């Protein structure tokens, strides 16, 4: 009983280890005529069934716009109808005051008792003029007066003080002249 070589090998090797030799394509699976596979291009995901959300957002936007418009109209009516609304409640209309008359500024020469203090002043300085009377406390005659000019000291006047020109309202200029006749005037820098 002699066995041939292929038979002996088939008995000793398991059948799963046998690999058939490549053969010609079988007629059951002909070669494919399809193009080769390509990658899928990127595209946004499809969202199906979200139309109700879009509708809700649109309605919400319209509500916001309408409420903002109503707020603007209410504010405008409150401003325009303010005096009429007060009159309808029995309140008198607000009193309209005329604008104040323009203040007329004048240059007033003032003799200050202390000449050394006047030498410290420069045009543009702001000063308070104080009247020191012998009877009673000192009082401020002009507050925040602007120095316009500091004339050179006079040679003939000894201890009579020094002259300074101040820019003040007309009423204050009258008060300065009156105070200068009855009291000694002094200045303080502001």
pLDDT of residue 174: 92
Q: Which of 119, 173, 178, 181 is nearest to 151 (CA)?
A: 119
Count CB-CB contacts under 10 A for residue 145: 25
The encoded tokens of residue 60 equal 């919400």
The answer on pLDDT for 148 being more than 90 is: yes
- Alpha carbon distance 119, 163 (integer Å): 10
Distance in angstroms (rounded) separating the CA atoms of residues 164 and 107: 10
pLDDT tens for 98-117 read: 777 778 899 999 999 988 89
By the 8 A CB rule, do 164 and 120 touch? no
Q: How many CB atoms within 10 Å of residue 185?
A: 20
Residues 6 or more apart whose Cβ sits within 8 Å of residue 170: 103, 104, 105, 106
Burial class (CB in 10 A: 0-12, 13-18, 19+), 77: exposed
Is pLDDT larger for residue 35 or for residue 176? 176
pLDDT tens column, 25-58: 556 667 778 778 888 888 888 777 666 777 777 7
**Number of neighbouring beta carbons within 10 Å of residue 115:** 17
The pTM of the whole model exceeds 0.75: no
φ/ψ of residue 66, rounded to 5: -65, -40
CA 76 to chain centre: 23
- Asked if the model's pLDDT at residue 168 lies above 60, the reply is yes
Give, for 138, the enclosing helix (H) or strand (E).
none
Question: How many C-beta atoms surround the C-beta of residue 3 within 10 A?
Answer: 10
Confidence (pLDDT) at 25: 56
Whether residue 21 has pLDDT greater than 60:
no
Rounded to whole angstroms, the Cα distance separating 187 from 132 reads: 11
* Range 80-92 average pLDDT: 61
Per-residue pLDDT at 20 exceeds 70: no
Tokens of 12: 């000793």
- Locate 78 and state its tokens: 């409150």
Q: How crowded is residue 147: how many other Cβ atoms within 10 Å of its Cβ?
A: 19
Phi, psi of 142 (to 5 degrees): -135, 125
């Amino acid at each position: 009983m002699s066995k041939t070589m292929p038979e002996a090998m088939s008995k000793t090797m398991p059948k799963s280890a046998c690999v058939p030799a490549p053969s010609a394509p079988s007629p059951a699976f002909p070669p494919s005529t399809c193009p080769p596979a390509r990658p899928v291009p990127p595209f946004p995901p499809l969202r199906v069934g979200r139309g109700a959300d879009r509708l809700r957002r649109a309605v919400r936007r319209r509500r916001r716009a309408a409420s903002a418009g109503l707020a603007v109209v209410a504010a405008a009516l409150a401003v325009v109808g303010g005096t009429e609304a007060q009159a309808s409640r029995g309140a008198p209309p607000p009193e309209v005051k005329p604008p104040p008359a323009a203040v007329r500024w004048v240059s007033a020469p003032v003799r200050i008792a202390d000449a050394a203090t006047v030498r410290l002043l420069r045009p543009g300085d702001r000063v308070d003029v104080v009247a020191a009377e012998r009877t009673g406390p000192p009082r401020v005659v002009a507050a925040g007066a602007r120095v316009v000019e500091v004339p050179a000291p006079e040679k003939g006047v000894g201890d009579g003080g020094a002259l300074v020109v101040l820019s003040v309202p007309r009423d204050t200029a009258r008060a300065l002249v009156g105070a200068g006749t009855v009291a000694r005037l002094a200045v303080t820098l502001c």
